[in-house]
Chain A
Amino acid sequence: EADIYQTPRYLVIGTGKKITLECSQTMGHDKMYWYQQDPGMELHLIHYSYGVNSTEKGDLSSESTVSRIRTEHFPLTLESARPSHTSQYLCASSDLLTGANYGYTFGSGTRLTVV
């Protein structure tokens, strides 16, 4: 099983609440990614990081923010959740070696529902 962990697995929260989705990996990978995916649909890159103190926005505009203070940790924060944020959020990681051999390693995802 992949050594990348996402918590919580499922979250139901009210509109306007602040939430943080956690992602941690124990593989020492320098690159980490957040994707948003509606059920059964395509992946949309919302944030990525190539190392500590490095974060970039992805292809899909998102109201979320990320931080990368430690190599192993890449949390995603929504300051004020809205129903339009209801989706599955997938975290992934890679490095120079695994990127060439396996692409990315994915966590199991967080299914977020905003009511």
Chain B
Amino acid sequence: AQSVAQPEDQVNVAEGNPLTVKCTYSVSGNPYLFWYVQYPNRGLQFLLKYITGDNLVKGSYGFEAEFNKSQTSFHLKKPSALVSDSALYFCAVSPPMDSNYQLIWGAGTKLIIKP
């Protein structure tokens, strides 16, 4: 079965330190990969995507993500964390043969940035 895993329920990082939020997937072929952020009492906002090309993609708010095909991973990164980055982060995958681009979601990772 196709799936997306975010192995950490919560990630704690001190402000100014680099952060990584992990995502691995089990989908055949070359899927589209996405990261979304959700602030309290809000819907999800698109952060970045990978479709093809350079394995390092840049997105909103200084975030980037690294695609690794051999490890089927798409980890979210930021060189220097801000307290305002504290939120819930979701990884999502769109299987390549799904013409409707229906997304398969990870369970989410709560990111806490401490001052």
Which residues of A line the B interface, CB within 8 A?
Answer: 2, 6, 31, 40-43, 48, 50, 88, 90, 92, 94, 96, 99-109, 111
The residues of B that contact A2 with a CB separation of less than 8 Å are 43
The residues of B that contact A41 with a CB separation of less than 8 Å are 107-108
Known: A31-B100, A99-B100, A101-B49. A43 touches B105 (CB 8 A): yes
The answer, yes or no, to whether B70 is at the interface (CB within 8 Å) is: no
The residues of B that contact A100 with a CB separation of less than 8 Å are 32, 51, 101
8 Å CB interface, B19-61 against A:
32, 34, 36, 41-46, 49, 51
Contact A108 B43 (CB under 8 A): yes
Quote the shortest CB–CB distance from B55 to chain A (angstroms).
19
Contact-size category for B: 20 to 34
Known: A40-B88, A43-B90, A108-B43. A103 touches B110 (CB 8 A): no
The residues of A that contact B92 with a CB separation of less than 8 Å are 103
The residues of A that contact B36 with a CB separation of less than 8 Å are 103, 106
Known: A43-B90, A109-B42, A111-B41. A104 touches B103 (CB 8 A): yes
Quote the shortest CB–CB distance from A74 to chain B (angstroms).
14
The answer, yes or no, to whether B102 is at the interface (CB within 8 Å) is: yes
A48–B102 alpha-carbon span in the complex (Å): 10
Which 6 residue pairs across A and B have the least CB separation, nearest first? A99-B101, A106-B43, A42-B107, A106-B44, A103-B34, A102-B46
The answer, yes or no, to whether B73 is at the interface (CB within 8 Å) is: no
| Interchain Cβ contacts under 8 Å between A and B, 9 examples | A6-B43, A31-B102, A43-B108, A90-B43, A102-B49, A103-B46, A103-B103, A105-B46, A108-B42
User: Chain A residue with minimal CB distance to B44?
Assistant: A106
A13–B14 alpha-carbon span in the complex (Å): 41
Quote the shortest CB–CB distance from B6 to chain A (angstroms).
9
Quote the shortest CB–CB distance from B29 to chain A (angstroms).
15
Which has the most chain A C-beta neighbours within 10 Å: B51, B90, B99, B105?
B105
